[in-house]
Amino acid sequence: MTLSDVLSLMGGLALFLYGMHMMSDGLEAVAGEKMKKILESLTSSTIMGVIVGTVITAIIQSSSATTVMLVGFVNSGIMQLSQTVGIIMGANIGTTMTGVLLTMGIGDIAPAIAFAGVALIMFTKDSRKNNIGAIIAGLGILFIGMNMMSSAMSGLRDSQTFINIITTFKNPLIGVLVGAVFTALIQSSSASVGILQALAAAGLVTLDTGIYVMFGFAIGTCITAAIASIGMGANAKRTTVIHLSFNIIGTIIFVIICQLFPFVSMVEHLFPHSPSAQVANAHVIFKVVTTIILLPFAKQLVKLSQIIIKDKSEQDKRVGILERSKTISGYSVGTGAIAISLIRDEVNYMYDIAKKNVIMSFDAVINNTPQYDDIIRKNEDELDELNANISQYISGVIGNHMPPRDAEVISGYFRIVGNIERIGDHATNFADYTKFFINKGISLSDHATGEVRNMKDLTVSAMALLEGDRREDAATMLAGVVKAEQDVDDMTDEYRNAQMERMKTTECSAEASVVYSEMLTDFERIGDHLLNIAEEFAKMYPPRA
């Protein structure tokens, strides 16, 4: 094997992996959060999960990308752990499509496929068509890379050293270990199987010597999701355990089958004229039969993962968005859905804190007490930190490949976060007014205190309209907030006029009157920010046509 062959092999592998990533990026840009909706609606049963996992992985040609997506979805709370089992099984079936397509001769038309995809990218201005072009071009580039690897492998036919090494693969343990290590290094079982097919086509490997290496590929591909789960929650790690358990159990089953039954001979007999097809179809049988065997034990796989990965009181410790968003770089499928879910959860949490501060700040004024001050200050610090972290996260993901629709939603949350932070500032102002009253030894009149109590009730009821997940009801929510904001404006005008009358009768001191006027301003501004949030949310989630 010459230096040129080695470089050709490396270049082919590079093109294969790059094509795979192009397809992942294109799919993410086309599908975005729709991917999450598909998974949520079609994974109610394990069997449906298998079908969905098979289809998605057949499209993006990477079980690693699918599993990494699941790790991210589980870690962000989009999916339940039990929902992932069927998809993982399906992903293992879907990844066999690469080898099947190779045996069908798709590699011969790979340049035409790549050209068609590039043409869509270069000669259309529509972003959706551009992204579809990226998927098509990625597929073509993937198979061009596979052809390059196949050509480079032919030079090994005359290498006695290589042939001697290959013959050791007949030992099941060595074969599985070699396959696992090799796939762990390149992080693609599809590429590994393709290389094995190229070796078989060149006459360097028979199914008898390569079958155990192929089994090892299934184990080695789990490394990608394992890396992705580092620093994530217990359920994210359990997803990788399910993936690994499935493939280890399947490998053990088929090693035993190959030792006790003529599995290899059967496959060779079915496809006598194509060593490459023998590898591809043995791979399909391996994954499909393993899925059929383990499908009834889906719940047991989940329980096994829970035994292996203990929950170390993670529910008692809140993890911020920057920590929860940790994932492996390179695979982008589902990142839009993960980003939106993470941001939505964090924004809801931030909004709850702001509401608590608003309630306590009104109570502080009504009761003329400093007892809430420390909690309000602590919450305000957390609001500032949340604002900074969410904004940082949004800045990091907004430039990634995602549909314009998802980018608009994320941008909307960026503006909502700013409004929530300002609501927190106005609540802190109320706490400062209370401190001023106490230090000066003054207080509001009974009439003014009653008005503050009414302001609190209206503000709390207005804030309640924006609580929870109201995506499907954004227009109705906006209508309610518009009315509440108008009530706030009317109440502000009414109470400002009433205060002017009290000043004439000296019912309120001059200092208290000035501060009360500032309170009315803060009260009105809170209403304005609530309206801004409602309007932004309605733009993000318009009514369906």
Q: Residue 506 has what pLDDT? A: 67
State the first-to-last Cα distance of the chain, in angstroms, to the nearest integer: 62
Residues 226-253 have a mean pLDDT of 86
Asked if 301 and 360 sit in the same domain, the reply is no
Asked if 341 and 294 sit in the same domain, the reply is no
Report pLDDT digits (tens) over 318-344. Answer: 666 766 665 444 445 566 777 787 888
* Contact status, residue 341 vs residue 36, Cβ threshold 8 Å: yes
Annotate 80-105 with DSSP letters as a single string.
Answer: -HHHHHHHHHHHHHHTTHHHHHHHTT
Say if 319 falls within a structural domain: no
Asked if 416 and 287 sit in the same domain, the reply is no
Say if 315 falls within a structural domain: no
Asked if 351 and 494 sit in the same domain, the reply is yes
* Contact status, residue 237 vs residue 227, Cβ threshold 8 Å: no
Q: Which two tokens stand for residue 349?
A: 């949490």
> Where among 251, 273, 308 does a domain terminate?
308
350 contact partners, CB below 8 Å, separation of at least 6: 383, 386, 387, 390, 417, 420, 421
Asked if 268 and 417 sit in the same domain, the reply is no
Instruction: Domain count for the chain, please give it.
Output: 2
- Flag whether pLDDT at 149 surpasses 80: no
- Flag whether pLDDT at 391 surpasses 80: yes
Residue count of the chain: 545
Say if 264 falls within a structural domain: yes
Q: Residue 295 has what pLDDT? A: 92
- Flag whether pLDDT at 184 surpasses 90: no
Percent of the chain surpassing pLDDT 70: 85
486 contact partners, CB below 8 Å, separation of at least 6: none
List C-alpha distances in Å: 523 to 416, 428, 452, 486. Answer: 18, 12, 9, 12
Q: Among 246-250, 399-403, 523-527, where is mean pLDDT lowest? A: 399-403
Asked if 405 and 341 sit in the same domain, the reply is yes
Greater confidence (242 vs 311) lies with 242
CA–CA dist 469, 136 (Å, integer): 36
Please name the residue ranges forming H helices in 298-403: 298-308, 321-324, 335-367, 373-397
Residues 412-431 have a mean pLDDT of 94
Give pTM, 2 decimals: 0.68
Say if 321 falls within a structural domain: no
Asked if 304 and 338 sit in the same domain, the reply is no
* Contact status, residue 407 vs residue 398, Cβ threshold 8 Å: yes
Q: Amino acid identity, residue 444?
A: L
Say if 79 falls within a structural domain: yes
Largest Cα–Cα separation, the chain? 109
> Where among 291, 308, 325 does a domain terminate?
308
Q: Which two tokens stand for residue 205?
A: 């490997």
Greater confidence (43 vs 273) lies with 273
- Flag whether pLDDT at 292 surpasses 90: yes
List C-alpha distances in Å: 351 to 320, 388, 522. Answer: 15, 14, 17
Q: Which two tokens stand for residue 392?
A: 């940082």
CA–CA dist 396, 399 (Å, integer): 7
Four-CA torsion 335, 339, 345, 347, nearest 10 degrees: 180
* Contact status, residue 53 vs residue 69, Cβ threshold 8 Å: no
Q: How does the average pLDDT of the chain come out, rounded? A: 83
Asked if 292 and 366 sit in the same domain, the reply is no
List C-alpha distances in Å: 4 to 165, 200, 472. Answer: 22, 21, 59
* Contact status, residue 220 vs residue 180, Cβ threshold 8 Å: yes
CA–CA dist 244, 219 (Å, integer): 6
Q: The domain that contains 518 carries what CATH number?
A: 1.20.58.220
Say if 314 falls within a structural domain: no
Q: Residue 417 has what pLDDT? A: 95
Residue 209, exposed/middle/buried by CB under 10 A (0-12, 13-18, 19+)? buried
Residues 210-239 have a mean pLDDT of 83
> Where among 245, 274, 308 does a domain terminate?
308
Residues 274-281 have a mean pLDDT of 89
Q: How would you label 308-324 residue by residue, b for 16+ Cβ within 10 Å and e otherwise?
A: ebeeeeeeeeeeebeeb
Q: Which two tokens stand for residue 406?
A: 């998802």
459 contact partners, CB below 8 Å, separation of at least 6: 358, 362, 488, 523, 526, 527
List C-alpha distances in Å: 414 to 248, 462, 538. Answer: 44, 21, 14
Residues 158-177 have a mean pLDDT of 75
Residues 357-378 have a mean pLDDT of 92
506 contact partners, CB below 8 Å, separation of at least 6: none
Residue 519, exposed/middle/buried by CB under 10 A (0-12, 13-18, 19+)? buried
CA–CA dist 346, 419 (Å, integer): 14
Asked if 137 and 256 sit in the same domain, the reply is yes
297 — phi, psi (to 5°)? -105, 25
Asked if 288 and 370 sit in the same domain, the reply is no
CA–CA dist 537, 474 (Å, integer): 6
Q: Which two tokens stand for residue 174?
A: 């060595």
Say if 316 falls within a structural domain: no
Greater confidence (79 vs 506) lies with 79
* Contact status, residue 528 vs residue 487, Cβ threshold 8 Å: no
- Flag whether pLDDT at 139 surpasses 70: yes
Say if 545 falls within a structural domain: no
Question: Residue 84 is part of which domain span?
Answer: 3-308
CA–CA dist 21, 139 (Å, integer): 10
Separate counts of helices (H) and strands (E) for the chain = 24, 0
CA–CA dist 473, 488 (Å, integer): 23
CA–CA dist 214, 205 (Å, integer): 12
Asked if 234 and 370 sit in the same domain, the reply is no
Asked if 128 and 266 sit in the same domain, the reply is yes
Q: Which two tokens stand for residue 436?
A: 């001023």
